[in-house]
Amino acid sequence: MITQMKKYTFLVFHRDYEPFLTQLRELGVVHITQKAAGLMENDEALQTALQHEDELRRLIKQGAPDQMIQERTAIEQRIADAKAAMEQASVWGEFDAERIEALWNAGYTLRFFSCGASAYQEEWGIKVSEKEGKTYFVQVIADGANNENYGDYENYATPLPQPEKSASQWQVEIENLKGLLAAANGRIEAWRLANMEKLQAELKEARQQIDWTRVHLSTDQLAEGALCLFEGFCPIDKEEELNAMLAKAEVYYEETDPEKEDATPIQLHNNWFVKLFEPLTGMYGWPNYNEFDPTPILGPFFLLFFALCIGDAGYGIMLTLIGYLIYKDKLKIEMFEGLGGIIMALGVGSTVIGYLMGGFFGIDLFRATWFPEWAKAPMFNNLGVDGKIGEYDVMMVLAILIGVVHLILAMTIKAITYTKRDGFKATISTWGWLLLIVGGICTAIVAMLFSLPTEIVKWTLIGIGGVSALGIFVFNTPGRNPLINIGAGLWDTYGMTTGLLGDVLSYIRLYALGLAGGMLGAAFNQLGTLVLGENPNVGTWVGFILIVTFGHVLNLLMACLGAFVHPLRLSFVEYFKNAGYEGNGKLYTPFKKV
């Protein structure tokens, strides 16, 4: 949910301005309203300070000055080049570069070649080695002699450069370079230990100076600079604390509720579970102050969608374990830093839903004869006959039903939010569509459950349709020409019908991804079983373990990728679109000491 804010307007005498800002920063509860970005971008002092901040952040992140980093990078590149040269020289065996030089000085030319092993002929030259289907050979030609005695090699052999050193000599150089690299790393570490604390303090000071400058730029000067006027916002739970401070300060202030046109910042206040999913909301955009916080709905549905896409309890257990290790800092993966909690939640959800779907590392528990019957009772396959409802797979039907519920919830939230913001008259059409869809579905469900007479169902649907039609076609924009309203209603009907149908069908991906992951896991199990054979031994067991382990790790990685992207799409596109969510709000960032 979004914390309620109070708007404050401050009018301060110019001599009290700086001390008052210091007091506000010490308290640290007021979000100062900043002026247009253009003013900030044109202030040279602010831009210089921002560049300095970026430079400090970069220096802290890389841990040393550019010159030291470049030096280390150059040594690492030399090591990589030396390893490549050693690999190329290894085919020529051990040789003395000085003796080769002596041959050249004595009037002999050495030419180095490679060719396909099957094509090599002895008259082409001296065979040195054979590696990976290629033969490497050398020709030794005295000055003034011709090459005719070597036969027709030119169409089959590839000329190679003369190696500078032998493989063992390159190895010695690599070891020397590793020593230089260790020394460079030592200098970097020493520099980091000597300077990092000072850099952190300098960054802290730079950030505070930037905040201070932005507040100054956001303050209006009145009465020829004698008075300073600026605005800010404070969460309602900090209101008493701020007012107590203002009562002692010699400033004029006005406290009001935010208006619709105000750029009111938002502060999310959610329980521990919903808070796990706030980063997903931030990926799309934070809500406006007059919008709803989508996280309490986005979180549980994203968890459900993710679990359906994984569709395997075994994979869920693995995710839970990985999330726990990340949460406890036992496993450090930079891109997942701070996300251990949500990974654990997704893992637990995948374990539960995977069990209900009957999947465990590619094994179909529902059809496994060794799995106890009582444990199969809660599984989704029991909802239908042989895993089907009518002619359709149970999971496909469930995916569609979940999609319908998700979209109805989105439309309901849109109707409530728009009514709260714009009034009922401006949202009659939205309520008309909601009544038509929800009313029609509820009538159908009640009719099936309680076997209502056909006549009652008919007139109920006619009544719902009639009221909805008035809202959609006649009163969608009160006060406008009815004919224009009817035309707008027809166009809205076309868009709503085609859009909703496509949106509902999008939820089939939940079924498809879960099915694909289960089939691929089962395929790896079958392949491992084929390798194991009917009379397994140590070798076949090793092969089985390697295939199954590699296969399920690969399948888990691909499943997690799909289970993240597609539920995110269903949330950001289908749900947010039908909920009318804009997501262009700004987070509450109080003016305070860093």
pLDDT digits (tens, 9 = 90+) for 454-478: 777 777 777 777 777 776 777 666 6
- Domain stop point among 474, 506, 538: 506
Residue 16 lies in a domain: no
381 and 423 both lie in a single domain: no
403 and 378 both lie in a single domain: no
Rounded to an integer, what distance in angstroms lies between the CA atom of residue 73 and that of residue 65? 13
Q: Which residues of the chain have pLDDT under 70?
A: 36-42, 144-149, 449, 471, 475-486, 488-489, 492, 494-495, 498-499
Rounded to an integer, what distance in angstroms lies between the CA atom of residue 57 and that of residue 62? 9
Buried-state track 188-203, b at ≥16 Cβ within 10 A, e below 16: beeebeebeeeeeebb
- Domain stop point among 506, 522, 541: 506
Cα distance from N-terminal residue to C-terminal residue, the chain: 26
User: Which residues have a Cβ under 8 Å from the Cβ of 332 and sit 6 or more positions away?
Assistant: 326
Joined tokens for residue 247? 């009562």
Closest Cα partner for 135 from 118, 111, 152, 110?
Answer: 118
Rounded to an integer, what distance in angstroms lies between the CA atom of residue 435 and that of residue 429? 10
285 and 382 both lie in a single domain: yes
Total domains in the fold of the chain: 3
Q: Tell me, letter by letter, the H, E, C secondary structure of 50-63.
A: HHHHHHHHHHHHHC
Residue 462 lies in a domain: yes
Rounded to an integer, what distance in angstroms lies between the CA atom of residue 10 and that of residue 179? 63
Rounded to an integer, what distance in angstroms lies between the CA atom of residue 456 and that of residue 379? 36
Main-chain dihedrals φ then ψ at residue 141, nearest 5 degrees: -120, 125
436 and 522 both lie in a single domain: no
Residue 555 lies in a domain: yes
| DSSP per-residue letters across 73-113 | HHHHHHHHHHHHHHHHHGGG-S--HHHHHHHHHTTEEEEEE
What pLDDT does 145 receive? 61
Residue 154 lies in a domain: yes
Question: Which residue bears the tokens 């044109």?
Answer: 42
523 and 473 both lie in a single domain: no
381 and 475 both lie in a single domain: no
- Domain stop point among 481, 506, 531: 506
Residue 27 lies in a domain: no
Model confidence, pTM: 0.76
Question: Which residue bears the tokens 């070597």?
Answer: 150
357 and 444 both lie in a single domain: no
Parallel, antiparallel, or unpaired for β 158-160 and 108-116?
antiparallel
Are the beta carbons of 86 and 167 closer than 8 angstroms?
yes
Domain that includes residue 149, residue range: 96-162
434 and 362 both lie in a single domain: no
Residue type, 28: G
453 and 402 both lie in a single domain: yes
What pLDDT does 39 receive? 57
Are the beta carbons of 145 and 180 closer than 8 angstroms?
no
Alpha helices in 340-453 (DSSP H): 340-357, 373-376, 394-422, 428-450
Residue 69 lies in a domain: no
368 and 422 both lie in a single domain: no
Are the beta carbons of 215 and 230 closer than 8 angstroms?
yes
What pLDDT does 369 receive? 84
Residue 6 lies in a domain: no
pLDDT digits (tens, 9 = 90+) for 139-154: 888 876 655 567 778 8
Residue 486 lies in a domain: yes
359 and 436 both lie in a single domain: no
443 and 487 both lie in a single domain: yes
What pLDDT does 5 receive? 92
What pLDDT does 41 receive? 64
